[in-house]
Structure 1
Amino acid sequence: MIPRARHFVAAALSSALLIVPAFTGIAHATSAATSASDSKVYAVPLAKTLADVKRVADYWRPDRLQKTDLSTPATPGSGAAASTTSSGAAAGPAAPAASAASAASVKRTASTAGVSPTLPRKGTAANTMGKVFFRFGDKEYWCSASAVSAKNRSVVATAGHCAYDSRTAKPADYWIFVPNPGPGGSAPDGIYVGASISLHEDWSGKGDYDFDYAFVTVHRGFTWVAKDGAYVMQDVGRLQDNVGGLGLELNKKPGTYAVTAFGYPAGQQPDGSHPYDGKTLQKCRPGATRYTVAPGRDLQKGVELTPCDFSPGASGGPWVISYDETRRLGSLAGVNSLTWNRDAKGRYDSVSAPYFDTVTGEVYRRAASLGTIPNVT
């Protein structure tokens, strides 16, 4: 239902947090802050062993991947969207204040603020963007995501709600990243099983949309190869070596830069239409950014891009500064989190992301520091 004039709808781009399935998840998933200095980082293991990797891989065999083109993320119910008044949503804060932990770690994270984009080992253009597929309980979902340049060459950025359900305090299961997905469920650049989620404790603890982001460390990739009438896994190496990685920008003041948002939207628009099918990477043209808030989502320091008519499915897709169309590279400055219907008409008209600050750099740095299994086959 479209709200009355002078009100907006801020709705989650994916239904993963808005539908309440019966969760089974990963048994005994543990998590802990990495150290006292990294106290805002919440770390959750996914597939830890080779047996875990093969369990996830076996779930996403070619016959199941072929069906993912037919799936679309469910649309949030009308009662799930958070309505905010025009004055509240339009104004936004003057500037996000750094927390004590953030201020104390500025010096340590200076290098993360300057992470540069990286081309793949072979080729002159990157393929960093793609989809993540996963389960919460017995229900399958998918979101958008991107590879980020890192020293372990194995980091994926997406929305927090595309990796961890804060309501049940459980991570996604059977989590994989497929960069540059092709038709019919093909994965020309490999399939990468999630090894560990790094996120902000305020997402895992209370679902605060100021921290709706996750950096997922992934294992080496594989492809399915037909052999003797069956499919077998073939190791294809590390993510960044194969597809490249976006750079990372932190503490960028909204209004001082233009950003291009990417994703695979597929969900329903407010008027019931489905202009996107989720099969093709879409982008909203480069536009200016500004601060925004959504009290119903605990969003106090969001960043909004207008115009952009993304719908569910685009969650987790990257916001890229200085995007180079030829090299298909730029620097990550946010991820799609909420979509907005500010004019209360038939289509969404803007999208917002959590503000990437110094603590975001701490979360990223943790994901970039982890090692993974040397061979997945």
Structure 2
Amino acid sequence: MIPRARHVVAAALSSALLILPALTGIANAAPATAPASKVYAIPMARTAVDVKRVADYWKPDRLKKADSYSPATPGAQASPTASPTSAGAAAGPSGTTASAAAAAKRTAADSAAPTLPRKGTAAKTMGKVFFRFGDKEYWCSASAVTASNRSVVATAGHCAYDPRQTKAAEYWIFVPNPGANGETPDGIYVGAALSMHEDWSGKGDYDFDYAFVTVHRGFVWVAKDGGYVMEDVGRLQDNVGGQGLELNKKPGTYTVAAWGYPAGAQPDGSRPFDGKKLMLCQEGATRWTVAPSLDLQKGVQLMGCDFSPGASGGPWLIGYDKNRRLGSLNGVNSLTWNRDAKGWYDAVSSPYFDTTAGEVYRRAASQNTPPNVT
């Protein structure tokens, strides 16, 4: 368990967008549903040939050193003009006028129950995503989410798409329950399609720094004749289970447990985490927060959490059952905060998971993938 960090004051320091050189080219983004929808889907690896190309990139020798790659690191910003301890922390997002009954109805419609794997009494949903932008590899945290297609991963938007490059990540894979030396005991799952909100892809609005990625059937590498061959292991949810989904929960009315694989430096340069262990920020209360310079107007902040880069995309879970290792997804690690301007981060925040997040999730859950990729 991660120690609770220091005291709460006003200054905030965020981390989220990959600092990369600008590249030209527009991603092939298309509206996912009707023209009024703001959900966009971008193909990643469509065919078995595409999957094989991505798989070949992540052979065991590369996976063994994957933890040495850079955790997806956002750049630091100055203290926000509106402090998280000011009005923005206490009030809800502007324009929230729905009645409690209507909000409850939306929540019921958008919720999904957690699911155990087909074998076993405990889930193994959490892991890492590995990907590349340009000629450099990165990684983030992520989790499997229950879905009708049994093939959805939740992570941060900046762990799948860089709006400053207008470019989706390449060679994107999810490895649940990864070993410290590149082991993939529960398979490797290649990204098939990325679902996100257009305000993340279009302008990097941190109110929408989340992504749901539909993945192909998993595989493991098997040694054969001096090389490796892919062996199919089935669908993600069948193998590891899926976290539930809970939307439209008002901050301050619940507690949440945040998970991830932190690895990056703290503000004082220290590195208390190595990125090889799944870490838990002890369950805590939530509140609204804002960061105007990042267009974050309806963020949710968890205090007392000293996660550093690498934890990006890790799940926020309500009602976590430590025996079944399941809860309900209510956010993802997006920004880290140094509110007291001292040596360590002391809070983490997520975009507010409302009905819009549910639309993105349903888009990912509706995608079909080939029955076999090996």
Q: What is the TM-score of this pair, normalised by structure 1?
A: 0.91
- C-alpha distance in 1 between matches for 2:190 and 2:116: 21
Q: Which residue of 1 aligns with 2:15?
A: 12
Task: Map Cα deviations across residues 188-238 of structure 1 (whole Å, 9 max, x no partner).
Answer: 000000000000110000000000000000000000000111100001000
Q: Which residue of 2 aligns with 1:375?
A: 372
Deviation of residue 99 (structure 1)?
8.4
5 Å matches for 1:338-377?
A: 338-377=335-374
State whether residues 314 and 333 of structure 2, in contact with CA within 8 Å, keep that contact through their aligned partners in structure 1.
yes
Letter in 2 for 1:91: A
Q: Which residue of 1 aligns with 2:80?
A: 84
2:161 to 161, 164, 173: 164
- C-alpha distance in 2 between matches for 1:111 and 1:123: 28
State whether residues 144 and 316 of structure 1, in contact with CA within 8 Å, keep that contact through their aligned partners in structure 2.
yes
- C-alpha distance in 2 between matches for 1:115 and 1:287: 22
Task: Map Cα deviations across residues 287-317 of structure 1 (whole Å, 9 max, x no partner).
Answer: 0000000011110000000110000000000
- The 3 A distance-change label for structure 1 pair 106 and 57 is farther
SS at match of 2:360: helix
Q: Which residue of 2 aligns with 1:210?
A: 207
- The 3 A distance-change label for structure 1 pair 75 and 132 is closer
- The 3 A distance-change label for structure 1 pair 9 and 368 is same
Letter in 2 for 1:50: A
- C-alpha distance in 1 between matches for 2:117 and 2:265: 35
SS at match of 2:298: strand
Q: Percent identity?
A: 71
- C-alpha distance in 1 between matches for 2:292 and 2:131: 29
State whether residues 22 and 137 of structure 1, in contact with CA within 8 Å, keep that contact through their aligned partners in structure 2.
no
Q: Which residue of 1 aligns with 2:139?
A: 142
- C-alpha distance in 1 between matches for 2:187 and 2:264: 26
Deviation of residue 6 (structure 1)?
6.5
Q: Which residue of 2 aligns with 1:189?
A: 186
Q: Which residue of 1 aligns with 2:30?
A: 32
- The 3 A distance-change label for structure 1 pair 222 and 11 is same
* Pairwise CA RMSD: 2.3
Matched, 1:50 2:53: no
Q: Which residue of 2 aligns with 1:324?
A: 321
Matched, 1:41 2:44: no
Instruction: List gaps (5 residues or longer) in structure 1.
Output: none
State whether residues 260 and 311 of structure 2, in contact with CA within 8 Å, keep that contact through their aligned partners in structure 1.
yes
Deviation of residue 19 (structure 1)?
1.4
Letter in 2 for 1:68: A
- C-alpha distance in 1 between matches for 2:86 and 2:337: 11
- C-alpha distance in 1 between matches for 2:111 and 2:202: 29
- C-alpha distance in 2 between matches for 1:253 and 1:99: 11
Q: What is the TM-score of this pair, normalised by structure 2?
A: 0.91
- C-alpha distance in 1 between matches for 2:35 and 2:251: 27
**Divergent runs of 4+, >4 A:** 74-77, 97-100, 105-112
Letter in 1 for 2:65: K
- C-alpha distance in 1 between matches for 2:74 and 2:350: 18
- C-alpha distance in 2 between matches for 1:45 and 1:106: 33
- C-alpha distance in 2 between matches for 1:307 and 1:73: 22
Instruction: List gaps (5 residues or longer) in structure 2.
Output: 1-7
Q: Which residue of 2 aligns with 1:62?
A: 60
- C-alpha distance in 1 between matches for 2:209 and 2:78: 16
Letter in 2 for 1:136: F
SS at match of 2:45: coil
Letter in 2 for 1:133: F
- C-alpha distance in 1 between matches for 2:103 and 2:47: 34
- C-alpha distance in 1 between matches for 2:122 and 2:332: 22
Q: Which residue of 1 aligns with 2:116?
A: 119
Task: Map Cα deviations across residues 124-167 of structure 1 (whole Å, 9 max, x no partner).
Answer: 00000000000111111000000000000000000000000111
Task: Map Cα deviations across residues 327-356 of structure 1 (whole Å, 9 max, x no partner).
Answer: 000000000000000111110000000000
Q: What is the aligned length?
A: 362
State whether residues 38 and 362 of structure 1, in contact with CA within 8 Å, keep that contact through their aligned partners in structure 2.
no
State whether residues 73 and 310 of structure 2, in contact with CA within 8 Å, keep that contact through their aligned partners in structure 1.
no
5 Å matches for 1:271-290?
A: 271-290=268-287
Deviation of residue 283 (structure 1)?
0.6
Task: Map Cα deviations across residues 77-99 of structure 1 (whole Å, 9 max, x no partner).
Answer: 5xx42421564654316223568
- C-alpha distance in 1 between matches for 2:362 and 2:109: 7
Task: Map Cα deviations across residues 71-121 of structure 1 (whole Å, 9 max, x no partner).
Answer: 3427555xx424215646543162235689xxxx98997665220000000
Deviation of residue 374 (structure 1)?
0.7
- The 3 A distance-change label for structure 1 pair 359 and 70 is same
- C-alpha distance in 1 between matches for 2:298 and 2:361: 19
